[in-house]
Chain A
Amino acid sequence: MSRIIVITSGKGGVGKTTTTANLGMTLARRNRKVAVVDADFGLRNLDLLLGLENRVVYTAVDVLAGQCRLEQALVKDKRHPNLVLLPAAQNRTKDAVNPDQMKQLVNALAKVFDYVLIDCPAGIEMGFQNAIVAAREALIVTTPEISAVRDADRVVGLLEANSIKKTQLIINRIRPAMVQANDMMSVEDVQEILAVPLIGVVPDDERVIVSTNRGEPLVLAETPSLAGTAFDHIARRLEGEKVEFIDLNASNDSFFSRIRKALTTKLF
């Protein structure tokens, strides 16, 4: 039975597409057949993060218009034959596709692939409805910021209303030093507020930008990065493996913050 997972957040720019690209690549490397679907019609980006923008010939809209077969629109990844991308149309708007059509496309992919990962657009309008209609599970991506958490909470409610029961949380761009200085919500804070099971924590990492520049998902880098490892762990947890969460505090513990911590715990 294949798994259809939507990656969503409500707010834009919190890391949905990065998450989709990295999870898709990691699962493909683990010998799963993976289709990643860009549901962001009009503002497609997943092709760029995977470095596949030059290979896009047909899009989901062409398939629905009968201008090509579904197989023809799928872009095979150059590094991993197990990974394909179904690109969104760039010259249309989000109203170019309706939920019934999207369901048709995703269900056709689910017959062939082990995983169908759907990269949801920001917002909660038509594009969101299209992205979640066929999904059976959801990954909510958020950052430890007030607006991202509020939007994530709204999306969690909408997913519940659309009877997607398995929802898990990814907290992206955490900065341990700021958390220790009490200037950022911690993983526990966000999880306590949203009350959704946690599947991963990804630290803020400049190498995400470098990997985006190159069109090479972080998990492919030869020297491992903290963020890349975090994505690798999320993929393994999706597969049912029990993986310990990385201790993000260890490397960022400065001498002064340790003294402060020791003093505050003893005195108060």
Chain B
Amino acid sequence: MLIEFLERFFPRSEDNSRQQVKNRLKLVLAHDRTDIPPQALEAMRREILEVVSRYVELDTSSMEFALENHQRTTALIANLPIRRVRSQADEAPVEGVVDPGNLELEPLTPNAEPANAESIALE
């Protein structure tokens, strides 16, 4: 009650123009600095997921994939929770566990041999 009363006279920082300008700047600069078109980012996301999904099953619901800026360095932050590691015998994702529609992945080639996948990983 007292706090609410005082807040009316001493407003908290979130509402002032100083905080507003900082937030606007941070947003616009994150965009300015990365300079990657959204289509390219989406293509990159799809390809990375495709490669990772060859080896492990991903939990698509809690995945994160974003460009972040800190101290003038741009980093690609990808958080890809693993549901389970694929065994060597797995040739393609088991339907129903990973929904390809959700992932927006190209379907994996059904004749991809495990040996083939290993050689890609080595390169």
Q: Which chain A residues in 185-229 approach chain B with CB under 8 Å?
A: 185-186, 189, 193, 195-196
B33–A153 contact, CB under 8 A? yes
Q: Are B19 and A182 in contact (CB under 8 A)?
A: yes
Shortest beta-carbon distance from A262 to chain B in Å: 11
Residue of A nearest to B6 (CB): A267
Q: Is the interface of A mostly helix, strand, loop or mixed?
A: helix
Interface residues of B in 1-46 (CB under 8 A from A): 3, 6, 10, 12-13, 16-19, 21-22, 24-26, 28-29, 32-33
When chains A and B are docked, how far (Å) is the Cα of A182 from the Cα of B18? Answer: 5
Q: Does chain A have a CB within 8 A of B72? A: yes
Q: Are A193 and B33 in contact (CB under 8 A)?
A: no
Q: Do B18 and A184 touch across chains, with their CB atoms under 8 A apart?
A: yes
Q: Look across to chain A and name the residue whose beta carbon is closest to the beta carbon of B29.
A: A153
Tell me, in angstroms, the Cα distance from A72 to B67 when the chains sit together: 54
Picked from B3, B13, B28, B71, the residue with its CB within 8 Å of the CB of A182 is B13
- A195/B71 in contact, CB under 8 A: yes
Q: Kindly supply a per-residue 1/0 record for chain A positions 116-150, scoring 1 wherever the CB is within 8 Å of any chain B CB and 0 otherwise.
A: 00000000000000000000000000000110011
Q: How many A residues face the partner with a CB closer than 8 A?
A: 23
Judge whether A150 and B25 touch: CB under 8 Å: yes
Interface size classification for chain B: 20 to 34
Q: Does B10 contact A185, Cβ atoms closer than 8 Å?
A: no
Instruction: Evaluate contact between B72 and A182: CB separation under 8 angstroms.
Output: no
B72 cross-chain contacts in A, Cβ below 8 A: 156, 195-196
In the complex, how many angstroms separate the beta carbon of B51 from the nearest chain A beta carbon?
30
Instruction: List residues of chain A with CB within 8 A of the CB of B29.
Output: 150, 153, 193
Is A166 located at the chain interface by the 8 A CB criterion? no
The answer to whether A69 has its CB under 8 Å from any CB of chain B is: no
Q: Evaluate whether A264 and B22 lie within 8 angstroms (CB atoms) in the complex, with A183-B17, A195-B72 already known.
A: no
CA of A260 to CA of B9 in the docked complex: distance in angstroms?
A: 9
Is there contact, CB below 8 Å, between B18 and A268?
A: no
Ranked 5 nearest A-B pairs via Cβ: A182-B16, A182-B18, A195-B71, A195-B72, A146-B21
**What are 23 residue pairs bridging A and B, where the CB atoms are less than 8 Å apart in the complex?**
A146-B21, A149-B25, A150-B25, A150-B28, A150-B32, A153-B29, A153-B32, A153-B33, A156-B72, A182-B13, A182-B16, A182-B19, A183-B16, A183-B18, A184-B18, A185-B22, A189-B18, A195-B72, A263-B6, A263-B10, A264-B10, A267-B3, A267-B10
